[in-house]
């Protein structure tokens, strides 16, 4: 066999291997990941147009342990979408005034209007997790949340809101690896807060809190969907695929447009370049 034929055969085998599904537990390659992500992001654009056209109101909640991959999934969902239609709600710690309000009050202000989708990067479930474990709320406040949360969510659904809840599940070993990677990378170190470090030392307490939360709030009307996220790429693709499956939509993507002829600049005189301040061309 000639060298050229051997080379062509090797390329063909490589392409065939690339198209084959990976073994369970094997990390997804970047090339295959980007190929699937591009297709899914196109479908998200179609979903966005459907939400806008039909005046739907969609809420998607992302919860999970620190470094479980919630933020990365949210970024890939919003990457190609219109921020006026799909926006992210990532609320900071409540102010002194907000602490005196009805617990759900500050979250209600971020719910979508018609034709909008809101992604909550953490949500009212802070009370069932970090607030409960770290002692930021009383036992009475925690108990009241567990009683009222299912009814609050049923109320949202009855009002016409589509509510989707995802819990990103990461193993102890993988979380440890990601935490260490953040420590080693100065551009990611800001992601590690003192509260994140506390979560490491209270792993079992957070596990119990998560189990109780699921037991009380995993309802027929508003179920929890668990996303295995040890492989970030697979988790993102699986989450997006599942989200698309929950909301039936048609393709309303606008047809390609023809650019109009640009207006002639007859009579228009540009101001002198020296009157303008330019950014230095360092690169």
pLDDT in tens, 47-99: 999 999 999 999 999 999 989 999 999 999 999 999 999 999 999 999 999 99
Residue 4: the pLDDT is: 52
DSSP state of 273: G
Residue 196: the pLDDT is: 79
User: For the chain, which domains are there?
Assistant: 29-94+106-253 (3.40.50.300)
Of the pLDDT bands very low, low, confident and very high (cuts 50, 70, 90), residue 111 is very high
For residue 14, what are the CA distances in angstroms to 18, 58, 207, 254? 6, 42, 43, 37
Q: Evaluate if residue 264 carries a pLDDT over 60.
A: yes
Q: Kindly report, residue by residue over 11-42, the tens digit of the pLDDT.
A: 444 444 433 444 456 889 999 999 999 999 99
Residue 214: the pLDDT is: 97
- The answer to whether the beta carbons of residues 100 and 159 sit under 8 Å apart is no
Q: Is 235 helix (H, G, I), strand (E, B) or coil?
A: helix
Which tokens sit at 149?
A: 């949360």
Residue 269: the pLDDT is: 85
DSSP state of 79: T
Q: Kindly report, residue by residue over 133-167, the tens digit of the pLDDT.
A: 999 999 999 999 999 999 999 999 999 999 999 99
- The answer to whether the beta carbons of residues 60 and 166 sit under 8 Å apart is yes
């Amino acid at each position: 066999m000639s060298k050229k034929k051997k080379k062509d055969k090797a390329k063909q085998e490589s392409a065939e291997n690339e198209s084959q599904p990976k073994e369970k537990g094997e990390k997804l390659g970047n090339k295959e990941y980007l190929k699937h992500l591009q297709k899914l992001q196109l479908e998200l654009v179609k979903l966005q147009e459907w939400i806008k056209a039909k005046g739907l109101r969609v809420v998607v909640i992302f919860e999970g342990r620190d470094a479980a991959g919630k933020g990365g999934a949210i970024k890939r969902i919003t990457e190609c979408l219109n921020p006026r239609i799909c926006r992210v709600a990532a609320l900071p710690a409540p102010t002194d005034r907000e602490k005196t309000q009805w617990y759900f009050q500050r979250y209600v202000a971020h719910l979508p209007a018609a034709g909008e989708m809101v992604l909550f990067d953490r949500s009212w479930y802070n009370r069932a997790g970090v607030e409960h474990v770290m002692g930021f709320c009383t036992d009475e406040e925690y108990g009241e949340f567990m009683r009222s949360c299912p009814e609050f969510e049923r109320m949202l659904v009855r009002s016409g809101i589509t509510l989707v809840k995802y819990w990103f599940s990461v193993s102890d070993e993988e979380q440890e690896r990601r935490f260490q990677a953040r420590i080693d990378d100065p551009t990611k170190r800001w992601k590690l807060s003192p509260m994140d470090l506390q979560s490491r030392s209270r792993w079992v307490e957070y596990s119990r809190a998560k189990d109780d939360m699921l037991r009380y709030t995993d309802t027929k009307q508003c179920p929890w969907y668990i996303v295995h996220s040890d492989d970030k790429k697979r988790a993102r693709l699986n989450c997006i695929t599942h989200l698309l499956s929950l909301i039936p939509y048609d393709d309303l993507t606008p047809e390609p447009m023809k650019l109009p002829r640009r207006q002639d600049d007859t009579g228009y005189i540009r101001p002198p370049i020296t009157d303008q301040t330019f950014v230095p061309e360092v690169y």
